[in-house]
Amino acid sequence: MPIAGRLALLAGVALALISVAGCAPLGRLSPTHYWERTSLFQPNKYPAGEWNQTTVLVEDAYFGAADGTKLHGWYVRNPQPKAHALVMHGNAGNVTLMAETIRTLNHRHQLSVLALDYRGYGRSEGTPSEAGILQDARAARRWLAKKEGIAEQDVLLMGQSLGGGVAVDLAASDGARGLVLAGTFTSIPDVAQHHVSWLPMKRLLTTKMDSISKIKNYRGPLLLAHGDADEVIPYQQGLDLFNAAASTDKRMITNFGGKHNDPLPDEYRQALDQFIAKLPPLSTQQTAVATGEEIVTER
């Protein structure tokens, strides 16, 4: 079921349960907690997906989150990278859906790329939650920085939809060499409110992903793209997020007629090339590629 339909179902369940319980949701004690989690996070666990890729040669990256959760991602090295990108996908599927994106970023845009599967997705262990996937992104950034021999703040953060919210949190909290967002929301309750206008979703939902508040704390380069026919996350939320960003070096690309999962136009690709070319220099000199991580190459 599409996320909009799931949110509507969630709202109906929330209203029924709250009227029975007679209390406001309180984190895990919330009567909507289970329904909220299963509506927002729709992972495909391994072996679901096309894991034997032919369009891009990937390496399996294995690393652990701070709480010990074992995580997985796909890594592709560029011998002369213009930047080093951590890429975070949306709320459904797993990293295999990003094969073409990884190939394009690596070949056309000349990036070294790590695409993360959050906990519970693909080969990553655990169960997804807001706090958990934010922790996963930090672990992935740390792995990529060590692998490429750069500082963690020199990683380029890229996120689509839910992954955009994860990227905003990481950039706003710790900084980044650059931030690239596509189809990203102002907050999860704002998305829910758009689809279910007759319920107070900010009060009901325990998952916040409050990107519009967080992005005010990020001052680095920003490139944001959004389709003006996005049926999942309204185009206005993309505009609001862009306007709220404190960065003085920011640009927004409108995908005219584009829906949530439609390919981005060539204008975006050109803008991304320009964005990468203007990124600030690395804060530290690159060192030898780190060793000691568990890396298995798949051909």
* Active-site pick, 117, 136, 169, 230: 230
β-strand partners of 86: 114, 157
Establish whether 283 is a catalytic residue. Answer: no
CB atoms within 10 A of CB 29: 11
* Active-site pick, 30, 124, 161, 187: 161
Establish whether 161 is a catalytic residue. Answer: yes
Establish whether 260 is a catalytic residue. Answer: yes
DSSP H helices, the chain, are 3-21, 33-40, 99-107, 130-148, 162-174, 188-195, 201-204, 211-214, 235-244, 266-277
Distance of CA 292 to the CA centre of its chain: 27
- Which residue matches tokens 């890396």? 295
Interatomic CA distance for residues 131 and 58, integer angstroms:
28
CB of 180 closer than 8 Å to CB of 155 = no
Query: Which residues are annotated as catalytic?
Result: 161, 230, 260
